Amino acid sequence: MTDRALTVVRAGALTCVQDLGRPGHAHLGVPRSGALDEPAHRLANRLVGNGTSAATLETTLTGCAVRLRATTTVAVTGAACPVTVDGRPAPWGAPFRVPAGALLQVGTATHGVRCYLAFAGGVDTEPVLGSRATDLLSGLGPDPLTDGVVLPLGPPQGPPAAVDAVPHAGPAAELVLPFLPGPRADWFTATGLHTLATGRFRVSPASNRIGLRTEGPPLERARDGELPSEGMPLGALQVPPDGLPVLFLHDHPTTGGYPVVGVVPERWLPAAAQAVPGTAVRFVRLGRRPGATAHTG
């Protein structure tokens, strides 16, 4: 019987198993989790013939290296990076075969933060609440990868996609995050709201799967104190006491007591997942032209 599995040789800075997450459990205090760059996850699965719900590996900045125990079709998407098989170059953004026993290496991201490795059949770890996703906040799902860990692979689901390569837009010089104001915009002064719409922010190195933290001018508060804990949606712009907005990503807490000044719709979150520390961030209120200036009164 074929040993459909892989062995982790180099886990990298943070590599974890991800799929489309476990929505519908926020009332239990369980975040959705799942791939931060969902389009890249879906694309990688499509390239190797998987369904969209199959689990992939999500790497962070430094990539990873794995040894395949059976010949397998693989695809790497997301952040641009060098890919090799036993030291020989392999394509990024296209399906390719990795022989049994070969070492697949995904190098440091050259543009972006997170790469997605899809294997024909998907990573076949045990589901928890219907998902194989690693949730860093709740601890559900498989642990982040460590050297020597063996992960099972499922049976191939279909033929790989017939494409030569996938276009890549390259890194954005600026992360533009449109947002809907509220529900607690009234906790900030007109000056604070103007700062959000016009201030020069940057992605903080303290960002992670829980939230994208920012550096820049603090938002001026209209009220002191904090709220009783209330529900926190994906994409919430929560403002802690330091006044710097935090964009909640897939492993975010389901409740919180700091005010939410706005919510970024999900369609703009994949770009946040690929924004490296130091990237300029601009918040744009939905309904305004990107270059328009917010009113302060």
Q: What confidence category does residue 108 fall into, taking pLDDT thresholds of 50, 70 and 90?
A: very high
State residue 171's pLDDT score.
Answer: 64
pLDDT at residue 151 above 70?
Answer: yes
pLDDT one-digit tens code per residue, 69-90:
999 999 999 999 999 999 999 9
Query: How is residue 43 written in tokens?
Result: 């694309």
Over 80: is that where the pLDDT of 54 sits? yes
To the nearest whole number, what is the mean pLDDT of the chain? 93
From the list 65, 166, 56, the residue with the least C-alpha distance to 118 is 56
Helix (H) or strand (E) holding 48: helix 38-48
Q: pLDDT value at position 158?
A: 86
In this predicted structure, what is the pLDDT of residue 162? 75
> DSSP letters of 98-140?
E-TTPEEEE---SEEEEEEEEETT-B-PPPBTTB----TTT--
What is the average pLDDT across 34-46?
96
Residue 168's pLDDT is what?
65
Q: Which of 26-30, 40-44, 219-223, 245-249 has the lowest mean pLDDT?
A: 26-30
pLDDT for position 28 = 86
Q: Could you give all domains of the chain from N- to C-terminal order, each with its CATH number?
A: 5-152 (no CATH), 174-285 (2.40.100.10)
> Residues 69, 5: contact at Cβ < 8 Å?
yes
Q: Is the per-residue pLDDT at 52 higher than 80?
A: yes
Asked whether the beta carbons of 55 and 125 are under 8 A apart, the reply is yes
Over the stretch 159-216, which tens digit does the pLDDT of each residue have? 888 776 666 666 678 999 999 999 999 999 999 999 999 999 999 999 999 999 999 9
Check pLDDT > 70 for residue 42: yes
Q: What is the pLDDT of residue 225?
A: 84
Question: Which tokens belong to 294?
Answer: 């917010």
